[in-house]
Amino acid sequence: MSGAAAAGRKGIGTRAAHGLLLLAFCALLFAVTRAVPEVHGGLWTITAIGFLLLAGTLTSEAIEPLGLPHLTGYLVAGIAAGPYVLRLLDEHTVKSLSPVNTLALSLIALAGGAELDLATVRREARRLAWASLVQCMLVLVLMGGLFFAARPIIPFTRSLPTTALVGVALLWGALAVTRSPSATLGILSQTRAQGPLATFTLAFVMASDVVVVVLVATAMSIARPLIDPSASFSPDAFVALGHSLFGSVALGTTLGLVIAAYLKLVNRQMLVVLLVLGFGASTVLDYLQFDALLTFMVAGFIVRNMSKQGHKFLACIEQTGNVVYVVFFATAGADLDVPLLRGLWPVALVLAGARSLVTWGGSLIAGRLSGDPPVLRRWSWSGLVSQAGLALGLSTIVAREFPSIGTPFRALAVATVAINEMVGPVLFKLALDRAGETERREAVSLASIRPGPG
């Protein structure tokens, strides 16, 4: 179905009905939360998930005529329902959704790994190598330098000595290198895009997870003695990093082989199996302090490329439709600290805008060095703007390891990521449309999801 046909079928009456339905559910939840303000528990968590699914889906359809991606609708719905706007969901309820959000992220990572074809990665190896090298070095150096130069407008850096400021700027530059696999996969899931831009962006963003983890660990080791004069450079951080990376790859490989064996021998109720594995493996990963995104991505990659069950696995993943993305991004929107963003938005806007500009410049340089086709030279930067869970997770680690600057550093990171999270998907979808790689048809909706044969 083409986008024009879909838009034609959704006339003013249909969209008005969707709007009224959304308002009715908001009013109902508003009345309940005001009548019983202290309601908590598992039933309320399930209610919150159902409401976010409904609100996110309806909001995404409402903004569809504007050409905005569905992810924007999910985020807007979550922000509006969250504890800082309409307060339909309080902070306790949003925090209780954390395990569900973790499960959604694991399924997204599985899908990302399963979409990576080994032959494609080999074919794009030279291009990916140049892009990774240029983007990482350019963003790290220039964003770190900008953070250092922006000292007068960043409140918590004004009292820092120069050496400490260099350390914090290094941490910020490393954090700026992070991308958002979840946003990339969400846009590709909606648009069903196929072409050089979609292929390059998916491969680059998924592979960059490993690069970013190593880069941030290295930056933290170098910055530690700069921020804290009593500390010294220690190789222990690299030992822990190696443990995490190798452990994540090993566990992901094992998980992928288990899924492939199950698909070959049983192949029944696969969606339930994925849910159980997602929850169980996430708990184990948290205990072992492994990288969850890398583990699940490796698992999906193994099923796709090291077994003959890749087509079955992709079919199972597609059964989740857009539900996974609605849950993940609507919850992320509800968890967004709006007052914090309101207070830090001028600085965050400068840093976010500069990062987009540096990313654009890096794509031009990398494109010339690797001989990219014109479509990549023009648009490859657009899929690298988004930031989400990975950046926030790393900012939390920085806050824990550097308590003297941790709280304000993470606050500024959250505000900057929020801007990139809202703007990035819009830019990527626009680029895919302009590049002619989208099928211009509707993505799977809640109403169209049907259970699989087993």
Give the pLDDT confidence of 264-287 residue by residue, as tens digits: 888 888 878 888 888 888 888 888
pLDDT value, residue 95? 83
pLDDT value, residue 269? 81
The yes-or-no verdict on residue 359 having pLDDT over 90 is yes
The yes-or-no verdict on residue 60 having pLDDT over 60 is yes
The average pLDDT across 355-372 equals 93
Q: Which of 173-177, 180-184, 207-211 has the lowest mean pLDDT?
A: 207-211
Q: How many helices (H) and strands (E) in the chain? A: 20, 0
Q: Could you tell me the pLDDT band of residue 171, with boundaries at 50, 70 and 90?
A: very high
Distance CA 346, CA 359 (A): 20
The yes-or-no verdict on residue 8 having pLDDT over 70 is no
Q: Which of 38-47, 120-129, 390-399 has the lowest mean pLDDT?
A: 38-47
Q: Which of 66-70, 137-141, 257-261, 298-302 has the lowest mean pLDDT?
A: 66-70
Distance CA 269, CA 277 (A): 13
Q: What is the token pair recorded at 224?
A: 């530690």
DSSP string, 283-339: HHHHHHT--HHHHHHHHHHHHHHSSS-HHHHHHHHHTTTTHHHHHHHHHHHHT--HH
The average pLDDT across 399-424 equals 86
Among 20-29, 154-163, 166-175, 200-209, the range with the most confident prediction by mean pLDDT is 166-175
DSSP string, 169-227: HHHHHHHHT---HHHHHHHHHHH---SHHHHHHHHHHHHHHHHHHHHHHHHHHHHHHHH
Q: Could you tell me the pLDDT band of residue 360, with boundaries at 50, 70 and 90?
A: very high
Distance CA 33, CA 28 (A): 9
Q: Which of 185-194, 226-235, 284-293 has the lowest mean pLDDT?
A: 226-235
Q: Could you tell me the pLDDT band of residue 448, with boundaries at 50, 70 and 90?
A: very low
The yes-or-no verdict on residue 255 having pLDDT over 60 is yes
The average pLDDT across 73-100 equals 85
Q: Which residue has the higher pLDDT, 254 or 288?
A: 254
pLDDT value, residue 42? 62
Q: Could you tell me the pLDDT band of residue 49, with boundaries at 50, 70 and 90?
A: confident
CB 175 within 8 A of CB 420: no
Q: Provide the residue type at 99 as one letter.
A: P
State the chain's maximal CA–CA distance in angstroms.
67
Give the total residue count for the chain.
454
Domains of the chain: 3-96 (no CATH), 103-434 (1.20.1530.20)
Q: Which residue has the higher pLDDT, 390 or 188?
A: 188
Tell me the pTM: 0.80
Q: Provide the residue type at 206 as one letter.
A: M
The yes-or-no verdict on residue 87 having pLDDT over 90 is no
pLDDT value, residue 144? 94
Q: Could you tell me the pLDDT band of residue 1, with boundaries at 50, 70 and 90?
A: very low
The yes-or-no verdict on residue 452 having pLDDT over 50 is no
Distance CA 160, CA 163 (A): 8
Q: What is the mean pLDDT of the chain?
A: 83
pLDDT value, residue 64? 81
pLDDT value, residue 185? 86
CB 248 within 8 A of CB 290: yes
Rg of the chain over all Cα atoms, to the nearest angstrom: 22
CB 173 within 8 A of CB 139: yes
The yes-or-no verdict on residue 403 having pLDDT over 90 is no
The average pLDDT across 383-401 equals 81
419-432 pLDDT per residue, tens: 998 899 999 999 99
Q: Which of 30-44, 50-64, 104-118, 405-419 has the lowest mean pLDDT?
A: 30-44
Q: Which residue has the tokens 């303000």?
A: 37
Q: What is the token pair recorded at 441?
A: 């048809």
Among 7-11, 114-118, 258-262, the range with the most confident prediction by mean pLDDT is 258-262
